[in-house]
């Protein structure tokens, strides 16, 4: 196979999470979003070190597995819900087989209690479906950085989400409010963040905009007037839930992410409540909380089962978010110490513990990699629930040095889990139990829980043997490669950056750079310096990859 060439073949299997595997004349190609049994036409867009990666151009024939008829009208176009055309029982089988292929034997997969309308959080993007077209609000078109698909119906969210979305788009469209163009960094409307509690029905809606309000001056209007009008539209919607708060978030970052440079409460408050396993949790706009509330109860019940007796024990809950796991384990524990980098989530965790009458929890705001160096207590048990990219190697090394007898690792990205398991097994841990909980029906993602223990493997424990030879491990290097940083910057800001610029910012941040890498050959040579907007974008990438 050659780069740029077009081929047609049948997807033989799907590797985690969405990698369709096709063989053309004995040569392997990885084609994202290809389902097992589909016949697809694809173009090879990458070939290096004998690996071919392709992009789907057309599905020539559906897979025999694709028998689900009641599909979302955006299926195949929107960037989510890869498996929606496959019956739920087959989705579960595929996911279980994928994790088995990575980590070995696992217990029977646990399904989500509901597989439709389960998501409690959505981040919608403003844009257009075609260049120069009318205002759109929804999800990015699959494989596109620019095009946005109007999501007037979504199978995995409550109808309240789409009512809020449709009314918001109509309101701003009628007023011809410009959306933020990522390449030119011009415009106003950026995102719509909606969170809805499954148990309480409380809703938090946040409009995310830039600070560019010059367009209002030509219309003799103030931003407050525009936003007040939107709030009135929201309050008059025929929704099943109730608004806990309606917010305005200003975001002037170059990165295409939802973050706050300033939050204003337009109505109500900036938080809402959700309930899990008899406990009550306060959730703010940026607090981490599992996106499937009912599935989270299954997940945390399983974690509690794996942890076992906690009476009188000191437990570290690392990457603790709003303290959900910590509080579930706290009632009979001596102490539970939660560590989380998002200060807003830590504040919520402290309030949640107080509200639930739990005085054995303590939460620390900070980077796990740094905080574990400072903790003086010796834990009896450690629970890890890291972000998708897993635990930073330096943090994992320190965690292993605690030498706890039992450790529970919760992962939403099985390939990151495999990378970390390799180090854990080398240090003397063994996998005692492992299972999957489906928190993300219709998508290619799955949550995996592993119980690790020290000592010899007995008849009840699982022997885990896996090979990393066939896996692309570039994403697991300490930090990120130059191509990964370039790709991240381009995807999130539309800016192209050079190796020279990346190495310059690495030095500014105190990150090690290869000897003489991109240094001028002559002492009097002058090099172009990284522009401020590109420096900011590169720093955002460093933060994403945990490098700073």
Q: Is 412 considered catalytic here? A: yes
Q: Does pLDDT of 469 surpass 70?
A: no
Dist. CA 28–CA 23, nearest whole Å: 5
Q: Does pLDDT of 458 surpass 70?
A: no
Dist. CA 99–CA 435, nearest whole Å: 9
Q: Does pLDDT of 410 surpass 80?
A: yes
Q: Which alpha helices (H) appear in 375-447, and where do they start and end?
A: 393-401, 414-426
Dist. CA 489–CA 536, nearest whole Å: 10
- Give the DSSP per-residue string, 309-344: --TT-EEEEES-TTTHHHHHH-TT-SEEEEEES-HH
What pLDDT sits at residue 475? Answer: 43
Span 362-380, average pLDDT: 92
Nearest alpha-carbon partner for 450 in 472, 474, 425, 478: 425
Beta bridge partners of 122: 194
What pLDDT sits at residue 466? Answer: 52
Query: What tokens appear for 450 in the block?
Result: 């592993």
What is the helix (H) or strand (E) element at residue 41, kind and residue range?
A: strand 39-48
Lowest model confidence (mean pLDDT) among 90-104, 322-336, 425-439, 472-486: 472-486
Query: What tokens appear for 139 in the block?
Result: 């999800």
Dist. CA 100–CA 395, nearest whole Å: 26
Which is higher by pLDDT, 436 or 2?
436
Which is higher by pLDDT, 118 or 519?
118
478 CB neighbour count, 10 Å cutoff = 12
What pLDDT sits at residue 479? Answer: 57
Q: Report the share of the chain in percent with pLDDT over 90.
A: 67
Q: Is the pTM of this model over 0.75?
A: yes
What pLDDT sits at residue 516? Answer: 39
Nearest alpha-carbon partner for 380 in 462, 471, 294, 308: 308
Residue of 154, 412, 435, 436 marked catalytic = 412
Q: Which residues does 525 contact at the CB level (< 8 Å), separation at least 6?
A: none
Taking the alpha carbons of 397, 400, 402, 408 in that order, is the dihedral positive or negative? positive
- pLDDT tier at 149, thresholds 50, 70, 90: very high
CB of 310 within 8 A of CB of 332?
Answer: yes
Span 483-491, average pLDDT: 79
Q: Which residues does 54 contact at the CB level (< 8 Å), separation at least 6?
A: 7, 22, 29, 30, 31, 42, 43, 44, 45, 46
Dist. CA 381–CA 316, nearest whole Å: 6
Could you report the per-residue pLDDT of 93-108, keeping only the tens digit for each?
999 999 999 988 899 9
Nearest alpha-carbon partner for 505 in 526, 533, 525: 533
Nearest alpha-carbon partner for 40 in 61, 13, 54: 61
Dist. CA 503–CA 512, nearest whole Å: 9
What pLDDT sits at residue 515? Answer: 42
CB of 206 within 8 A of CB of 122?
Answer: no
Q: Does pLDDT of 356 surpass 50?
A: yes
CB of 294 within 8 A of CB of 300?
Answer: no
Q: Pairing mode, if any, of strands 27-32 and 51-61? A: parallel
Cα distance between the two ends of the chain: 39
CB of 146 within 8 A of CB of 334?
Answer: no
Q: Does pLDDT of 332 surpass 90?
A: no
Which is higher by pLDDT, 80 or 316?
316
Burial class (CB in 10 A: 0-12, 13-18, 19+), 546: buried
Instruction: State the DSSP code for 141.
Output: B
Lowest model confidence (mean pLDDT) among 359-373, 445-459, 460-474: 460-474
Phi (first) and psi of residue 93, to 5 degrees:
-60, -45
Spacing of C-alpha 226 from chain mean position: 32
Could you report the per-residue pLDDT of 241-278, keeping only the tens digit for each?
999 999 999 999 887 888 899 999 999 999 999 999 99
What pLDDT sits at residue 463? Answer: 52
Dist. CA 112–CA 91, nearest whole Å: 11
What pLDDT sits at residue 546? Answer: 66
Q: Does pLDDT of 474 surpass 60?
A: no
pLDDT averaged over every residue in the chain: 89
């Amino acid at each position: 196979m050659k780069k740029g060439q077009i081929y047609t073949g049948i997807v033989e299997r799907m590797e985690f999470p969405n990698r369709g595997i096709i063989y053309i004349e004995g040569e392997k190609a990885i084609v994202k979003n290809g389902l097992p049994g589909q016949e697809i036409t694809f173009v090879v867009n990458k070939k290096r070190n004998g690996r071919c990666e392709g992009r789907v151009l057309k599905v020539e024939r559906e897979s025999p597995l694709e028998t689900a008829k009641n599909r979302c009208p955006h299926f195949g176009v929107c960037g989510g819900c890869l498996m929606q055309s496959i019956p739920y029982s087959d989705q579960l089988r595929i996911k279980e087989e994928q994790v088995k292929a990575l980590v070995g034997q696992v217990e029977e997969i646990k399904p989500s209690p509901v597989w439709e309308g389960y998501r409690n959080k959505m981040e919608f993007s403003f844009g257009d479906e075609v260049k120069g077209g009318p205002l759109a609000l929804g999800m990015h078109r699959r494989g596109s950085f620019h095009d946005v698909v109007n999501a007037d119906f979504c199978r995995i969210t409550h109808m309240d989400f789409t009512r809020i979305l449709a009314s918001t788009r109509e309101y701003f469209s009628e007023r011809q409010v410009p959306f933020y163009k990522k390449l030119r960094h011009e415009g106003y409307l950026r995102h719509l963040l909606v969170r809805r509690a499954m148990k309480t029905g409380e809703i938090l809606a946040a409009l995310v905009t830039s600070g560019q309000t010059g367009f209002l001056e030509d219309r003799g209007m103030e931003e407050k007037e525009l936003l007040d009008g939107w709030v009135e539209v929201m309050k008059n919607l025929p929704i099943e839930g109730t608004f806990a708060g309606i917010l305005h978030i200003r975001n002037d970052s170059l990165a295409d992410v939802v973050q706050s440079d300033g939050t204003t409460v337009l109505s109500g408050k900036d938080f809402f409540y959700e309930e899990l396993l008899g406990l009550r949790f306060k959730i703010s706009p940026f607090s981490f909380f599992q996106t499937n509330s009912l599935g989270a109860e299954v997940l945390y019940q399983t974690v509690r089962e794996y942890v076992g007796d906690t009476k009188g024990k000191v437990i570290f809950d690392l990457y603790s978010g709003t303290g959900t796991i910590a509080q579930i384990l706290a009632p009979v524990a001596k102490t539970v110490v939660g560590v989380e980098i998002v200060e807003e989530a830590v504040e919520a965790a402290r309030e949640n513990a107080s509200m639930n009458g739990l005085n054995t929890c303590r939460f620390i705001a900070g980077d796990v990699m740094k905080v574990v160096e400072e903790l003086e207590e010796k834990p009896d048990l450690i629970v890890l629930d890291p972000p998708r990219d897993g635990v930073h190697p330096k943090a994992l090394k320190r965690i292993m040095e605690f030498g706890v007898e039992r450790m529970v690792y919760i992962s939403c990205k099985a390939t990151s889990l495999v990378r970390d398991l390799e180090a854990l097994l080398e240090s003397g841990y063994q996998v005692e139990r492992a299972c999957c909980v489906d928190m993300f029906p219709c998508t290619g993602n799955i949550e995996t829980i592993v119980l690790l223990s020290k000592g010899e493997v007995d008849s009840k424990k699982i022997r885990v043997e896996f090979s990393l030879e066939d896996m692309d491990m570039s994403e697991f290097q300490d930090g990120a490669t130059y191509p990964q940083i370039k790709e991240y910057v381009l995807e999130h800001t539309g800016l192209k950056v050079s190796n020279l610029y990346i190495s310059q910012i690495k030095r500014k941040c105190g990150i090690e750079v290869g000897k003489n890498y991109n240094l001028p050959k002559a002492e009097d040579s002058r090099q172009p310096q990284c522009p401020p907007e590109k420096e900011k974008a590169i720093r955002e990438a460093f933060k994403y990859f945990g490098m700073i």
